[in-house]
């Protein structure tokens, strides 16, 4: 137990200061402060010594160095059970400071609100984090409070322990304090890194604020939480049950795909973070219906994401199926009304979500793999027609968009499409031929051929043998896009020419494991 005799208060967030001062006064705690906090304390009618008066050092450089003084830091850092320390404090006329209450103005808010680099830099707090770190280091003797949230805990401590705090409490507050300073500097570091765009530094620090403790993780026995570098992730839930861990995973997966599609015409249906139907159509209702038609059985219980505003006619169609989550860039008022008839259906408006998915980070065994995401938009420069038969410009466009969908399909992705919509997706197979067969069986099950349509296919990586392509051609595929790279590429081109199909090679491979 440590008695609180002297406290230093310097807070950006002045909320509940009165509550705290009332309690500190009750236990006869001396208070030191400066600047805005000093003014606020006086305004609230409490006694307080100004830091410059306390240290005897004038406040200079617009307050940049006021607390960086031995009298402050010796007061915080001295060991109370060390005779040498006690003597040295006395000799220098220094006193022990037992409580440090400091909260920082959130640096992320400064970055959000301002684009003035000089002003942003000016806001970096030097004195505050130093006091917090000093107090946190010396938690054996000193209490540090870094957030208004813990005022009530402090008040309870003081009440229960008659003006003292317990070691457990001080240690807990110290832990939180080091997370605060690490977080603060991580935000600064990522602000600088973002500006300089150098990605693979010698050290990386990643930070997030708790957005929500989730009911559970991928499975009910796993604890889970959602963090973000933003205070608000920009997803507005308009209806339905709480979002689960798996919902978030599927939402992010579907948004990655949605954002890769041409604007305002794409629908994606995702199951287990894998697409089971993707379609683009200027007619929004048809866009949705075609995505659903790709694999209506798998779509059951899936997540639908439209990269346009959901209207009433789509809402009526969507209501006929069971989905976990429906996402739109806005939802028309009446459409929302219709969808809300399903009480549990999670409805998300993603209009406010601004962040792009630049980096992919995978954690394992205390290590993490970082990579740039595979989401660069394709241009025709990425592709080369290698067959004798040449695609029309429309066909080429369809092949490119089918290939784009294919890069979001996991493990030996094969996508068969009618141009605008997927009609068979094969995924999750250790063998490419197996994926072809799965895609074909989906197509045969659900697709009703329209006479004018050419069926086309994309593969995320090259075919190692002719067999995969052969299987697709036998199933009716008329044009194929795949990365080059097999030692049998020539054989594959020859086969394509024999079969009189269009074969296009991509310069880039698009594994997603």
- Considering the rule CB under 8 A, would residue 451 count as an interface residue with a second copy? no
Nearer to a second copy, 45 or 430 (CB): 430
Q: How far is the CB of 90 from a second copy (least distance, A)?
A: 11
Tokens representing 295 are: 């694999």
- Number of residues lying near a second copy (CB under 8 A): 136
- Paired residues of 415 in beta bridges: 425, 458
Nearer to a second copy, 209 or 285 (CB): 209
Interface stretch with a second copy, choices 8-16, 30-38, 73-81, 487-495 (CB under 8 A): 73-81
Q: How far is the CB of 334 from a second copy (least distance, A)?
A: 30
Interface stretch with a second copy, choices 268-276, 305-313, 389-397, 497-505 (CB under 8 A): 268-276
Tell me which of 28, 199, 215, 490 binds a second copy, using CB under 8 A: 199
- Considering the rule CB under 8 A, would residue 180 count as an interface residue with a second copy? yes
Tell me which of 186, 286, 398, 402 binds a second copy, using CB under 8 A: 186
Distances (CA, A) of 403 to 201, 291, 314, 321, 453: 33, 16, 27, 28, 18
Q: 């740039």: which residue's tokens? A: 372
Tell me which of 160, 359, 465, 474 binds a second copy, using CB under 8 A: 359
375 by DSSP, 3-state: which?
Answer: coil
Among residues 91, 178, 99, 89, the alpha carbon closest in space to that of 133 is found at: 178
Q: How far is the CB of 107 from a second copy (least distance, A)?
A: 10
Interface stretch with a second copy, choices 4-12, 280-288, 311-319, 431-439 (CB under 8 A): 431-439
What is the distance between the terminal CA atoms of the chain, rounded to a whole angstrom? 54
Among residues 214, 202, 215, 134, the alpha carbon closest in space to that of 174 is found at: 134
* H/E run at residue 130: helix 127-137
- CA dist 347 and 331 (Å) reads 9
Name the pairing type of β-strands 143-145 and 99-103: parallel
Tell me which of 38, 54, 245, 463 binds a second copy, using CB under 8 A: 245
Interface stretch with a second copy, choices 62-70, 337-345, 449-457, 495-503 (CB under 8 A): 62-70
Tell me which of 121, 384, 392, 490 binds a second copy, using CB under 8 A: 121
Residue ranges with strand state E in 87-179 = 99-103, 143-145, 164-165
Tell me which of 236, 332, 434, 467 binds a second copy, using CB under 8 A: 434
Nearer to a second copy, 338 or 475 (CB): 475
- Considering the rule CB under 8 A, would residue 111 count as an interface residue with a second copy? no
Burial 160-183 (b: 16+ CB within 10 A, else e): ebebbbeeebbeebbebbbebbeb
Distances (CA, A) of 169 to 154, 236, 416: 8, 37, 61
Tell me which of 10, 34, 143, 181 binds a second copy, using CB under 8 A: 181
Q: Taking CB under 8 A as the rule, which mask of x and - marks residues 201-230 in contact with a second copy?
A: xxxxxxxxxxx-xx--xxxxxxxxxxxxxx
Tokens representing 39 are: 């003014």
Among residues 269, 246, 247, the alpha carbon closest in space to that of 257 is found at: 269
Site residues (CB under 8 A) for a second copy, limited to 146-175: 147, 149, 171-172, 174-175
Nearer to a second copy, 311 or 427 (CB): 427
Q: How far is the CB of 259 from a second copy (least distance, A)?
A: 10
Q: How far is the CB of 509 from a second copy (least distance, A)?
A: 5
Tokens representing 50 are: 């100004």
SS (H, E, C) 257-269: HHCCCCCCCEEEE
Interface stretch with a second copy, choices 17-25, 38-46, 64-72, 282-290 (CB under 8 A): 64-72
- Considering the rule CB under 8 A, would residue 369 count as an interface residue with a second copy? yes
- CA dist 291 and 327 (Å) reads 14
Tell me which of 81, 83, 320, 363 binds a second copy, using CB under 8 A: 363
Tell me which of 143, 165, 246, 471 binds a second copy, using CB under 8 A: 246
- CA dist 273 and 302 (Å) reads 9
Interface stretch with a second copy, choices 8-16, 33-41, 136-144, 332-340 (CB under 8 A): 136-144
Site residues (CB under 8 A) for a second copy, limited to 272-291: 272-274, 276
- Considering the rule CB under 8 A, would residue 319 count as an interface residue with a second copy? no
Question: CA torsion 364→368→371→375, rounded to 10°?
Answer: 50
Q: How many CB atoms lie within 10 A of CB 29?
A: 20
- Considering the rule CB under 8 A, would residue 392 count as an interface residue with a second copy? no
């Amino acid at each position: 137990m440590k008695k609180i005799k002297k406290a230093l208060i310097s807070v950006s967030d002045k909320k509940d200061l009165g509550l705290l001062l009332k309690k500190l006064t009750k236990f006869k705690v001396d208070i030191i402060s400066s600047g805005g906090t000093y003014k606020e304390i006086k305004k609230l009618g409490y006694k307080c010594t100004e830091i410059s008066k306390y240290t005897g050092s004038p406040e200079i450089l617009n307050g940049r160095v006021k607390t960086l003084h031995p009298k402050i830091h010796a007061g915080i850092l001295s060991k109370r059970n060390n005779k040498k320390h006690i003597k040295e404090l006395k000799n220098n006329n220094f006193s022990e400071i037992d409580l440090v209450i400091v909260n920082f103005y959130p640096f992320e808010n400064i970055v959000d609100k301002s684009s003035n680099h000089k002003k942003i830099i000016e806001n970096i707090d030097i004195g505050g984090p130093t006091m917090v770190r000093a107090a946190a280091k010396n938690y054996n003797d000193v209490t540090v409070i870094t957030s208004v949230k813990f005022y009530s805990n402090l008040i309870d401590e003081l009440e229960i322990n008659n003006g003292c705090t317990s070691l457990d409490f001080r240690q807990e507050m110290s832990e939180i304090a080091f997370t605060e300073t690490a977080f603060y500097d991580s935000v600064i570091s990522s602000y600088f890194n973002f500006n300089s765009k150098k990605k693979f530094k010698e050290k990386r620090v990643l930070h997030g604020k708790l957005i929500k403790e989730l009911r559970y993780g991928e499975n009910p026995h796993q604890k889970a939480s959602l963090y973000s570098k933003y205070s608000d992730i920009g997803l507005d839930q308009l209806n339905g049950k709480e979002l689960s861990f798996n919902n978030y995973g599927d939402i992010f997966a579907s948004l990655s795909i949605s954002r890769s599609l041409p604007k305002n015409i794409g629908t994606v249906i995702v199951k287990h973070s894998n697409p089971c139907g993707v379609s683009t159509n200027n007619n929004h209702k048809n866009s949705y219906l075609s995505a659903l038609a790709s694999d209506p059985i798998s779509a059951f219980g899936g997540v639908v994401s439209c990269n346009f505003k959901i209207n009433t006619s789509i809402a009526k169609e969507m209501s006929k199926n069971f989905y976990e989550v429906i996402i739109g860039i806005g939802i028309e008022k009446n459409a929302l009304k219709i969808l809300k008839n399903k009480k549990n259906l999670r409805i998300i408006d993603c209009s406010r979500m601004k962040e792009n998915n630049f980096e992919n980070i995978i954690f394992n065994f205390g290590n993490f793999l970082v990579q740039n995401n595979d989401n660069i938009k394709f241009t025709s420069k990425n592709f080369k027609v290698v067959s004798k038969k040449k695609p029309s410009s429309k066909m080429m466009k369809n092949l490119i968009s089918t290939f784009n969908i294919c890069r979001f399909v996991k493990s030996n992705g094969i996508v068969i499409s009618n141009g605008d919509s997927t009609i068979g997706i094969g995924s999750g197979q250790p063998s490419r031929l197996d994926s072809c067969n799965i895609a074909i069986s989906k197509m045969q099950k659900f697709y009703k051929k329209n006479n004018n349509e050419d069926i086309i296919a994309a593969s995320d990586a090259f075919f190692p043998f002719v067999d995969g392509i052969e299987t697709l051609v036998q199933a009716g595929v008329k044009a194929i896009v795949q990365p080059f790279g097999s030692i049998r590429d020539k054989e594959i081109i020859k086969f394509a020419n024999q079969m009189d199909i269009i074969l296009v090679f991509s310069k880039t491979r698009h594994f997603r494991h």
